[in-house]
Each structure stands twice: as structure tokens, then as C-alpha cells.
Amino acid sequence: LSGPAGGIVGAAYVASELGRDNVLTFDIGGTSLDACVIERGNPVAAYEAQLEHFPLLIPTYDIRTIGAGGGSIAWLDHGLLKVGPQSAGADPGPVCYGRGGTKPTVTDAAVVLGYMDPERFLAGTMGLRDAEARAAIQEQLAEPLGLTVENAAAGVFDVLLARTVGAVRQITVERGHDPRQFALLAFGGAGPLLAPLLAREMGIGEVIVPFAPSGFSAWGMLSADIVNDFSRTVMATLDDADLAELEQLFKAVEAEAVASLVAQGVPVGEAVLERQFELRYLGQEHSLMVTVGRELDRDAIRAAFDETHRARYGHTMGNPLQILNLRVRGIGRTDRPELQTLPRGDGDPSQALLTHRDAYDFGQHAVVPFAVYDRARLEPGDTFDGPALIDEGTSTTVVPSGQRVTVDDHGYLLVT
């Protein structure tokens, strides 16, 4: 998951620059959908992971992944429409690529619904065979289901959206987060294609679409710090623990963290150290991470844990606190690419209007004219309403009716 992790690092940086504390990352590529929560500016981490069903005791971003992307195959299972997890991949790829693919995919459905211009795909360097995509959906989905080809393609998006909502609910609602209090940052080649629909479905008030969303994860890696995590098992109640011993243990672990960063070229004076306790109420199974200050104070630690527990689970308990692990995160800051501030326009997006094209609007559940904009020509301050398509060559943002687009000072699209 190094690719999605790069997107999460970039998303945390963008969230900080845009002043958004709570952000949901929404990354859809060719084969998978990856989502993660950024809470109070920090991506949620897990300290246990699985790889091919093997347990790993290493810190990772808490990424929720499902097999749903642009290349995911739409198919029928005893008369029920399903999407993924099988993928057509890049070769032969979707039917519309004309490389030998025969099974309809999400990308083929997007072509049938009018979201992608066959003449402008990949900035015009690769044409799409829309007639072949239409025929595949007609023969393999629409006719068996007794639907029109447009309604069958819309059904592909409905199923994909339902799977997406389930994945996002797992990392928000089931963890005590209200998704309506988050902004949705959409990237990956197909992220902006679905994000406004997801926001509409879940009541999320804002979608942020960065420049070149298909390359956002790579851009995010440029803003990644050098981070090492170190830990020691403690297994003592907070009331009984010797704070002086814990302080000495923190210092020993911090020395390890500094040595590791120095070995990677980080000057000693520039190493940033964060102290954390992994805590739980005595008798509980699940634990929570709490950041602690340089001075260890039992009351402050207890108050911080109770606040975190109330935010996550809606209540607190009177049980003693048990310390499971002491953790130190060593951070070596790197130079990050700056978000460029662009000159504001006059608020009129007409200079970016390419044409109008018929496409399927999920706001009206009908095929209607969409305004098509060239993202490269949009200027900060431009505002327009859906239904609209914003084309930038390697990605298309689909804005249904009932939503509005504003271009911010960095050229990012804000869909509300």
C-alpha cells in the first residue's frame, strides 16, 4: 500500500494548507478503491496489519481497500448486478480500449453515460471505442436485466457507489466519526468521477479535487517526512506506574529514534520526537493512542484518554487505565513542494467552457445536457453549478445537478 500511503501523506499536507482538520481520502485507480481518515490533521494509524492473512506488528495507515476501480468488471450473478473484485487490468483493459477486452467495466459504463469524451481521453492521445463499450453493456448487462443501456450503465455506478458507501462507513460511522463533519479529498484517475456522488449519498458537504488527481499519490510522496516508530511494552496501570521510570524509558527510546534519523541524514537538532502511550480501560480488549507532553502528568493523561474514548465510542468509564505500550515517533522533516497561489479571475468560467454534452445526471436520473469545462482554463474565483464535467485529460470530475463548483486560490476544485 505504498502508493495509497503517498496519497495519504499528500492529503494530510493539503488538509493542513487548506485549513481542513478532518478529511476523508478517496483514491480510486484502475483496480481498487482506498479510503482513510485524517482526523485533526493526522492520518489514522494502525499498529497491527495483515498481508496475505499474515499478521504484521508494524505501524501502517488505517486504509480501507475494496476491489473497485476503473477496470473493475461488471457482471451478473444469478440475475444480480455486481461490480468487481475482478478487474480487466490495463491490458487488455476495458472494452473501450480496443485491446481485446470483452467484459464491460466501470470505465465502459462511464463512456456510455457520457462522462468521458472518446476523442479527448488522455488529452486526445488515445481514442476510445464508445460503440464497442455500448455493445458490451447492451449484450451482457442491459438485455439480460431488461434495461436500457443507459440504465444498465447507471446501475453499474449504483452498485459501485453502494460498495463505496459501505467501505467509507467502516472507517467513519463504525469508528464513531460523523462523515458529514469531513471534507472528501478525491484523487486517483477515477476518484473525481465518483466522489461528488458519494458526497451526495452520505451528506458530505465538500469535495476537494487537487490538480492532476491521477498523479496525486506520487506528488504526495514528495511531501513525505522520514518517520520511524519505536515502542516498549509496559503493561502497568497508570496509577501504579512509576513516572520516573517511564521518563527514563522514554529517553532511552528517544535516543534510539534520534540515532535512526541521524543515520538517514537528519541533523540531530532537526529531529522531532513525539511521545505516545497506548492505553485502555482495565479489562478492555481494544486500546487507543494518546500523545503525551514532555512532562508526564497522570491527570492530564487520563483526561486526554477519556476525551479520545468519548469521541470514538460516545462514553467514558471509571475503570483504571492500563498502559500497554510506550511509543516514540521520530520525525525528520523534509522540504515540501509549495502549493502555488494563482491570480484570481473575474469569476466567469465561460473562457473554460468547451461544449455541452448529453450525459446521465444522477441528480435527475435522466440524460441531460452537461456543460464541459477545460480545467486548465479555469481560474480561482470561478463558480458554476452542475450538471457539469471538468476534463483535465487524465481525469474527469463529474458534478451532478444540485452541486456547485468553486475554484480556490490554488486552482483546486471545491464541490459543495
Render pLDDT for 257-305 as a digit per residue (tens, 0 to 9): 999 999 999 988 888 999 999 999 999 888 888 999 889 999 999 999 9
Whole-angstrom distance, CA of residue 172 vs CA of residue 45: 14
Q: Backbone phi, then psi, for 360, in 5-degree steps?
A: -85, 125
Residue pLDDT, tens place only, 342-376:
999 888 999 999 999 999 999 999 999 999 999 99
Q: Report residue 216's pLDDT band, with 50, 70 and 90 as the boundaries.
A: very high
Q: Which residue has the cell 468553486?
A: 406
Region 377-399 average pLDDT: 94
pLDDT of 51 over the 80 cut: no
Average pLDDT over residues 213-225: 91
pLDDT at site 311: 80
- Residue 124 predicted with pLDDT over 80: no
Reply yes or no on whether the pLDDT at 29 is more than 80.
yes
Which pLDDT belongs to residue 158? 95
Higher pLDDT, 265 or 30: 265
- Rounded to whole angstroms, what are the CA distances from 35 to 169, 193, 204, 397? 10, 15, 15, 18
**pLDDT at residue 52 is higher than 90:** no
Q: Is the pLDDT of residue 57 over 90?
A: no
Nearest Cα to 62, choosing from 172, 192, 178?
A: 172
Residue 313: partners with Cβ closer than 8 Å, 6 or more residues away: 176
The whole-number pLDDT of residue 174 equals 83
pLDDT tens digits along 160-172: 999 999 889 988 8
- Asked if residue 331 has pLDDT above 80, the reply is yes
Architecture in CATH for domain 226-332: 2-Layer Sandwich (3.30)
* Cα Rg of the chain (Å, integer): 24
The domains of the chain are located at 1-224+336-416, 226-332
Query: In b/e form, how buried is each residue of 147-175, taking b as 16+ CB within 10 angstroms?
Result: bebbebbbbbbbbbbebbbebbeebbeee
